[in-house]
Structure 1
Amino acid sequence: MKTIPISKPMPILIACLIAVLACFSMTPPTAYGESTGEALTIGVPTNRIPMFYEDPKTGEVKGIGVDLMRAAAEEAGYAVSFKIVNEKTLKQALDNKQYDVVMPFGSALRSASGKQSIVSDNLMQTPFTLVTEENHGNGLPPINKLRIGMLQSLGAVSETVLQLYPGVKITLYKDMLESMQALRSGEVDALLHNSYVWSYILQKPAYSDLTVQSDAVFSMDFRAGALDTPDGRKIIERLNRGISKLSEDRRHEIISSYTSRQMYEYDFSDYIHRYGSICLLCTVIIVVLAAAFWVFHKKSDSID
């Protein structure tokens, strides 16, 4: 049987073809869902555990909102980083060019300077609920006649509340401690925040007498926002592609990873508040025993 001789250039040609194919197979795709390394800076607040907070050990920004947006941004091909907003409100943060995107927003609104914004598709629904003192929960007036306390960082949310419930009086406070003092003093009838944040805050022993009202006041979308510019629209459109790839199971898994575990860490005042009566009782017992021993010892000395 005759064999067909293979010319010497053929093995070289085959080897070159294999090398070219290997190069193509190693080239990373640039379609959405694969990180292109393009940086995206997202401004977020950090006073909303477990939605957004700064890890005291590492300084890293974490939370439900961080993980949801990171997953969506990575699906969109971004290398995302989160930066703490220094502004008092998110409307002011929209005007800061340090951030490509700011979150969270329930809907598009104008920035502090009056510029129109654009928001992404919704990542999740966040129910906002009222918290009252136990003895006041049943006697609350209608919502549109309530005096409600909120944090200054929720200024944008307060505008939505005013639109939904004309007549409600809202007072903004700089932090949770100040708002709690207002509730205790009767300055406001109730405090308003999202239910995920309440699930964390009310783990503090000093707040054990506060009650979350069972019916949600309203639910708000959880979106990212940017100024309505060509660049802003481009970013939001790209993020929307990433958001659309997040399944409901994936979103639920991220939310549950925070809500299903104990996140609140006791400080010294918490231990005193929770175990103070036990510590006082133990101290009294020790003092009584010490006094009894001292009396017994004195009597023994006098007999001798």
Structure 2
Amino acid sequence: MRAFIFPGQGSQAVGMGTELVQASAIARAVFEEVDEALGQHLSRIMAEGPADDLTLTENAQPAIMANAIAVLRVLEQEGGLKLVDKADFVAGHSLGEYSALCGAQAFDLATTARLLKLRGRAMQAAVPVGLGAMAALLGTDFDQAKAICAEAAQGEVCEAANDNGGGQVVISGHKDAVERAMALSKAQGVKRAVLLPVSAPFHCALMQPAADAMADALGKATVRSPLLPVYANVTAAPAADPDTIRELLVRQVTGTVRWRESVAAMWAAGVTEYVEFGAKVLGPMVKRIAPDATVTSVISMADIEALAASL
């Protein structure tokens, strides 16, 4: 069995998609459709930068999605393959869940782009700059990270935001509480604690205003049943009902990204092959969680051609 997987924020880079656009009119059409949906030249920022503009959450989220969907569409249309024939499940990390849903046709491309633009803006606006923080704890497990967060909170928000597997858990919350958690983690034997260069504390209770904004937007958006079940971040289980998908995407804004459990659940369901679209970020995570898995990252035209030949 095979899963198609889609990366999250942090996988953006100036120049992303440029080679693919030059090689494929299909990829170019994806970027043009996203530009039109957003009313901005996002593709120019992706190609030329500046990096600070691309890193802005409201730009990075639709950009990462557009790049991944462009790769998928080139594979489908030029490679003559259909996602529904070549994959059994789809999944994505944080914003990548939207890419997965778009790939599985639960959302159309323009809707996905607009939702992610709104999501990025709402997440950025939810917490004043400097009030929140995120940190990666390396050499721990989810239970230890949760216990450290609980001890460090002291009346503030400090929560385990991303369970990435392989001993990596990202925590999120008020800056002082996250810093207390980092100090505690070192005292409790965690190998490293690294403050992350992010603009807001994602996937914690401080994001509730953004969750409210997404509840409103998703309530108005057209959501279809996906062609394939989508593993949801907050449940680490497949979802296919449109109303359930809406609910889970709202919960995802403040909830933990349960990536380790998602990959483990897919593996337990019989998924041995994982194909990542648009980046090489999730593949290494998958290998740490399921060492015997076969992982392929598809970014360039050469990657697409090689994958098409092998499927």
TM-score (norm 1): 0.23
Flag the structure with higher helix content. Answer: 2
Flag the structure with higher strand content. Answer: 1
> Considering only CA atoms, is the larger Rg found in Structure 1 or Structure 2?
1
